[in-house]
Amino acid sequence: MMALRQIVQKIKASKFYAIVMDETINLSRKELVRFSLKFFSSEDWEIYEEFIGFYQTDTMDAASLFKIVGDMLLRRELPFFDCRQQCYDGPSNMSGKFTGVQVRVKDREQRAEFVHCTAHSLSLATLDALHNIQDCRDTFSMVKDLISAFRESPKCMAAFREFQSEGEPSLRPLCPARWTLRISSIKSLLHSYEATMNCLDECSYSSDEFGSKCSGFSKQLRSLSTFFTLTVLL
């Protein structure tokens, strides 16, 4: 990966650039903005998308995000009037046509055309298609509830870690809107399938409501249709 100074020099040499920005949350639950720039290199006739940095923000409103855009471009001495495209995902604070970031950028440079993130659009289309398949819909719902139940119970998580083999991943929460994060959640469950089953069997002996839930999860995970669907999705 090129050093940031080299990236900026290449962008200035190519003159025009596109803004790519996304929101995320780190492990300490702090809001971050991921900022990248795309540009065309006349040296090798290739289009590059280079990561510029993460920026922490207390609020995710359009005004705050637009300020981050302006500050980043100012620090790199990249003028707004050389921006020709901006790419974000669907939330109104980013893509809103009245007060979103894309409108604020276009107020500064009318030629900065907004393009909805194609990866995000594909993710939404994929999820919508899978939700029309009952086995997939039921499996996603089960995985979400199972992992949430595990993570909300310290006793259950302690038992799960005892059954885990060295190097096995922890269970990842299932994100409802991002396909790639759903896959990481399913992968973590399949890689720890035996440990999960053993933990469910142990917790199902509890006489409380959680024990009943674990017994139900255990029956679902042991069904051929559930295991087959998880394997196909992965």
- List pLDDT tens digits, range 63-81: 999 999 999 999 999 999 9
DSSP secondary-structure letter at 44? T
Angle between helices 224-233 and 209-222 (to 10 degrees): 70
- List pLDDT tens digits, range 149-159: 888 888 888 88
Residue 148 maps to a domain: yes
Among the three residues 92, 116, 140, which one is the final residue of a domain in this structure?
116
State the pTM of this model.
Answer: 0.59
Beta strand extents in 79-133 (DSSP E only)? 83-88, 113-116
Among the three residues 116, 142, 168, which one is the final residue of a domain in this structure?
116
User: Could you tell me which of 159, 167, 171 has the C-alpha nearest to residue 200?
Assistant: 159
Looking up residue 60, the CATH number of its domain turns out to be: 3.30.420.40
Q: Please tell me the predicted confidence (pLDDT) of residue 185.
A: 83
Q: Is the pLDDT of residue 25 over 80?
A: no
Q: Is the pLDDT of residue 227 over 60?
A: yes
Domain count, the chain: 2
Residue 124 maps to a domain: no
The 10 Å CB-count burial string (b at 16+, else e) for 135-174 is ebeebbebbbebbebbeebeebeebbeebbeeebeebbeb
